[in-house]
Amino acid sequence: MTVALATLSPTIGGLPVFFDGWVGRPRLVAALLLSVGAVARARYFMPASARLLDPVLTSGDEMLRIEAFSSCCGVYARVDLLGDHLGEVSVGTGTTNVDLGQEVRDALARVDDATELRLSVGSAGLRVTTRVGSAVERKVKLPVRWVKGLGEAALAQVGMRPMARLGAVGARRLLDALPPASSASAPPYELVPAQSGFRFSQAPRSGAVSVAGPYRLRELRPLARFATGMRIWARPGDGARSCAFELAVPGARVWFVLSPDVARGFSGEGAALDLLADAPTVAEAVQLRGYLGWRARLDENELAGLADTSPERIQALLTVLGSQGLVGRDLAADAWFRRDLPFAQELIPRLAPRVGRAATITRADIEIRELQSGGHEIFVRSGDIEHRVNLDGDSASCTCQWYTRHLDSRGPCRHVLAARAHLGEVS
């Protein structure tokens, strides 16, 4: 980090910035940045020294998105600074990621209603400026685990719907009454109606939103005084599942997405492995990337026209790009948005190890039998062990230890991936 005077040219490290200007509501913007930074420093499962401290900043389409993961990868946080909140700001297009270090946090902590705050974001990093000085954070290498987590957190939001709405008072009361931290094996809480809006209860209730470790929302508490309302999002149903909390503040939206289990981070969910294991689909997704542009909302019908394919196919291709962190999910817009992160097909085995392991299973290791009742029984040799895979349409099962432990909750095992790939070759 370097500290410089407040009279600065719009560059960082000699490179031009793509977002620059004095923001409106500086105290709120500072609090939003600090909240996201606090999530990046937090580890809600097996507390230890945090290692992943790199918020991702994406500018484009008259808004700035600031994203981070907790060090345990179980909490995804994002702030969307909207156009009417940005003041006298120049908004270009680009993505960078930095470590919010102590000097930047100290500078933000000193911002009040009387302080002017300037943010400069470029490919080389972030500069925070007040009238008395500035602090610069250089761009750092984004951890692979975060790239995987960005994708899995986005896919976890697909299909979520607003399940509860609270006003400003209800949002503050819910955050003030967060249950204390508990062991990772503790059962999830249920979000149930209360006189003031909603509350967390340990009594199971059908149809209620299940929230594992609601104490993981504690970094939202400093923002409660700014809240104008809150929405809670989840897929309909019962049992453990991801959920999202959307806190509305003037000129911005704050998102906290929680994994379905305190001990379960977003980086290992495996929601897109079937698509990633299909080479033609991955190649199409790479081509689609050139059509994305920079929009807060990607129009799937428009992309289908540009790519000369169907909207349904576009959804699959965006899922592939989403799994690699290249697009994120905006629940408020019910759409994908673009990020500019590195992507190459040869990195898929590293980002999705099960896909790489499935690719090592050859046709000689596969024996396919068609069942009279429908579907296929496929024997897959892996080392000295032979596993039995049953495929029937979209349904699949395997006798391996992975499937026995996780069933369908974390995507297919490598034997199912290999079986589907080789079945497709002979069909």
Instruction: Give the residue extent of every domain in the chain.
Output: 2-144, 163-244+258-265, 273-346, 360-426
pLDDT at 3: 36
Tens digits of per-residue pLDDT, 261-295? 888 888 665 667 788 888 788 889 888 988 988 87
What is the third-level CATH fold of 2-144? Answer: DNA Polymerase III; Chain A, domain 2 (3.10.150)
- Segment 162-184 shows an average pLDDT of 92
Q: What is the mean pLDDT of residues 193-210?
A: 87
pLDDT of residue 4: 37
pLDDT tens for each residue of 73-120: 899 999 999 876 677 788 888 888 888 888 889 999 999 888 999 999
User: CA-CA distances (angstroms) from residue 414 to 35, 39, 384?
Assistant: 38, 33, 15
Phi and psi at residue 248, to the nearest 5°: -90, 130
CB 45 within 8 A of CB 71: no
Domains 2-144 and 273-346 share a fold: no
Query: In whole angstroms, what is the distance from residue 168 CA to residue 162 CA?
Result: 17
Spatial distance between the Cα atoms of 390 and 420, rounded to a whole number of angstroms: 10
Question: What pLDDT, on the 0 to 100 scale, is given for residue 302?
Answer: 93
Q: What is the pTM of this model?
A: 0.85
Joined together, the tokens standing for residue 215 give 């104490």
The domain defined by 273-346 folds into Arc Repressor Mutant, subunit A (1.10.10)
The residue assigned the tokens 């379960």 is 264
Please state the length of the chain. 427
Looking at residue 174, its pLDDT comes to: 96
pLDDT tens digit sequence for 335-378:
999 888 765 555 666 667 888 888 888 889 999 888 877 789 99
How far is the C-alpha of 106 from the C-alpha of 127, rounded, in Å?
Answer: 13
Lowest mean pLDDT among 14-28, 137-151, 159-173: 137-151
